Amino acid sequence: MILRAFAEPDRAAVVGLWHEVGLTRPWNDPDKDIDRALTTWPDLFLVAEGGGTPEDDDGGGGRAVVGTALCGYDGHRGWIYYLAVAPSAQGHGIGRALIAEAEARLAALGCPKAMLMVRRGNERAHGFYGGAGYAEDDVATFGKRLIAD
Ligand SMILES: CC(C)(COP(=O)(O)OP(=O)(O)OC[C@H]1O[C@@H](n2cnc3c(N)ncnc32)[C@H](O)[C@@H]1OP(=O)(O)O)[C@@H](O)C(=O)NCCC(=O)NCCS
């Protein structure tokens, strides 16, 4: 498994993965989210690439996108979005590795704290983040849409 920055040929697989694991919503266009991320912190948009196997459609010659983490640094906090691991690859430490790589890249920029939001109803993710050292902050997040997607 390789962790690297997103590259344009990954786009369809990344969007497909986000749909597959239920991270997309009608009001967030994933392609526009990718476009915007690439204009800000392209090195913080991480892709996990898994090894191909002979059972793959391409005979195992190619490597597949098996995970993502889209991150940003606003000068105060680092934010982690779109953490996703393909269902067939879950439970093998890829999510943990993506978080660790995101944290390392944010820390290298001088970012003192990593943040993330978990949608209500995704309580399963709480155990994962708790195990990765994240604690729930006593805050409510507020949002205001500035541009219609
Ligand atoms: C959450 C997610 C990224 C975890 O990825 P993963 O590669 O399966 O996780 P890992 O294999 O790295 O697991 C790391 C640790 O977390 C634990 N863990 C993983 N998923 C867990 C869960 N749902 N609940 C509790 N613990 C969990 C593992 O047991 C492992 O613990 P260990 O190291 O002590 O054995 C993956 O389940 C996923 O893509 N979920 C759907 C998308 C999603 O909800 N993303 C989060 C958005 S906020």
144 inside domain: no
User: Which residue range(s) make up the domain with 6?
Assistant: 2-131
**Residue nearest to ligand 1 atom 44, measured at CA:** 125
**pLDDT per residue over 32-52, tens digit each?**
999 999 999 999 999 999 976
75 inside domain: yes
Task: Provide the number of structural domains found in the chain.
Answer: 1
* DSSP letter (8 states) at residue 17: H
Distances (CA, A) of 140 to 10, 59, 80, 143: 34, 48, 17, 10
What pLDDT is stored for residue 49 in this prediction?
A: 97
**Residue nearest to ligand 1 atom 5, measured at CA:** 95
How far is Cα 53 from Cα 71, in angstroms, rounded to an integer? 29
Pairing of strands 2-5, 45-50: antiparallel
Query: Is 56's pLDDT higher than 90?
Result: no
122 inside domain: yes
Average pLDDT in the 83-101 region? Answer: 97
Q: Is the CB of 99 under 6 A from ligand 1?
A: no
How far is Cα 67 from Cα 90, in angstroms, rounded to an integer? 9
> In angstroms, what is the span from residue 36 Cα to ligand 1's centroid?
26
What CATH number should be reported for the domain holding residue 62? Answer: 3.40.630.30
137 inside domain: no
54 inside domain: yes
What pLDDT is stored for residue 111 in this prediction?
A: 98
For tokens 């704290």, what's the residue? 113
How far is Cα 14 from Cα 82, in angstroms, rounded to an integer? 10
Of residues 48, 58, 119, the one with CA closest to residue 90: 48
64 inside domain: yes
139 inside domain: no
149 inside domain: no
Q: State pTM to two decimals.
A: 0.92
